[in-house]
Structure 1
Amino acid sequence: MQTGLFHTRIQATTGLLGAPVLTLDLLVNTVQKKVSGVARVFKSTYPSVNFFADVWGDYSKAQLHPSTEGHIILSLTGNPSGPTSQIAATFHLHGILGLDWASGFASYKYCYQGNWQDVQHATVSQASIPHPEPVPHHPVPLYAVAVQQAQSSGDLAQLKAVVRQGEQQLASSDALRSALQQLNAEIARLEAR
């Protein structure tokens, strides 16, 4: 069991084909035994469901059987706007999880398009937390204004300087190489005058 403040992502599903899948992104405060986060219920089969709610609640530790290590008893409530809003609750969950927050069972209900849906005895498992792919850094050319000014003034030296600068920064991209070739063709055309 972790202590302090930590994030966990868990899923709850009955395992039936076409059944809704609940994903909970939770921030757990072990000092105050409070939980907050978001709940998403997704079902792709007809009638499809794409439900979202801010959730909050608390948990306690319990030893349900003397031969077990213990469990987490989790209780959550939610609505679209958070605990301080005056909007009625649209989500409730009661679950029994392992101390690792990665396994267990939960029953929950949610109100979607005015109708309450009830899901009993869904199996809880750890959901993967994708790490964002690093975005490669590509310099972004901001030469359009400089090129237009050089073309309109006929200042060939300025246009050549802009093109050289672009070539130095962006020579690795095929699309940009093509654009630079077009600029070089424009320089040749201006020089021919």
Structure 2
Amino acid sequence: MTMTQTAMGLFPVSYTVTTGLEGAPALQLNLLVNTPAQKITGTADITNDSIHPPLKMHADVWGTFSYMTVMGPGSRILISGQGNHGGPTSNSMVFVKFHLIVEPNWNTGKGSFSYFYNNEWHNIENATVRLNPVFNLPVGPGPVIPDNSSYGKPYSVMYGPAIQQAIAQNSPLSELKALAQQAQQQLDNLPALQAGLAALHVEIGKLTA
């Protein structure tokens, strides 16, 4: 992949972050990942039904991600973010923070998070990061385009893990050619993608204003 190709992409992802211990709180993150800017935006929900009254916190979150080695895509990924009511342009206090280290396929990892509740910070360390199936769309880290030939699968995987895994697993020539054709279609549609991304940024700006 070229630097231009790997710098493109916008995709959703949802994680549950928890230690799995009895009575432990859970963090759910619903994120939109902007790979060109290496930024994330979305929402966070922290819950704990084992206490009274049950803990239910909601936040608008934003942050960044970076590859943990100079190799870029193919390396583990550090995701760091914070949240409040209203997003980064709000004067609301930050009351949620999180740091995740996920595998190159963005599916699993480890992490920590903290939240401000009852006038003190609560820190959760060594938690497991798990991809939520409801957001496990047929979309990889990278741009997506409609695939009208595949019923029930409205998107095709483009860059990121799809290409890396195909090469690493010595996929058949026919699969490599098909993936290359899809990637070329994506590059041909670059102007439309850029226009769509600009419109999406405008909408995000409205929601976080």
Deviations along 1:96-146, whole A, 9 cap, x unmatched?
A: 111222111111101124332110011001012179xxxxxxxxxxxxxxx
Could you tell me which residue of structure 1 aligns to residue 68 of structure 2?
Answer: 62
Deviations along 1:32-86, whole A, 9 cap, x unmatched?
A: 000000010111001421011100000101139x9xx411111101112211011
Could you tell me which residue of structure 2 aligns to residue 32 of structure 1?
Answer: 37
Instruction: Identify which of 20, 23, 27 aligns with 2:25.
Output: 20
Instruction: Identify which of 128, 133, 156 aligns with 1:128.
Output: 133
- Is 1:84 aligned with 2:89? yes
Q: CA deviation at 1:18?
A: 1.9
Could you tell me which residue of structure 1 aligns to residue 200 of structure 2?
Answer: none
Could you tell me which residue of structure 1 aligns to residue 110 of structure 2?
Answer: 105
Unaligned runs of 5+ in 1: 132-193
**Amino acid of the structure 2 residue aligned with 1:45:** S
Q: 4+ residue runs of structure 1 moved beyond 2 angstroms?
A: 112-115
CA distance in 2, matches of 1:130, 1:4: 17
Change (3 A) 1:94 1:81: same
Farther off after superposition, 113-122 or 52-61: 113-122
Percent of aligned pairs with the same amino acid? 35
Unaligned runs of 5+ in 2: 1-5, 137-209
CA distance in 2, matches of 1:3, 1:95: 22
Contact 1:51–1:112 (CA under 8 A) maintained in structure 2: no
TM-score (norm 2): 0.57
Q: CA deviation at 1:94?
A: 1.2
Q: CA deviation at 1:2?
A: 9.9
Deviations along 1:131-186, whole A, 9 cap, x unmatched?
A: 9xxxxxxxxxxxxxxxxxxxxxxxxxxxxxxxxxxxxxxxxxxxxxxxxxxxxxxx
Larger Rg: 1
**Amino acid of the structure 2 residue aligned with 1:76:** G
Change (3 A) 1:100 1:123: same
Give SS of 1:129's match: helix
- Is 1:45 aligned with 2:39? no
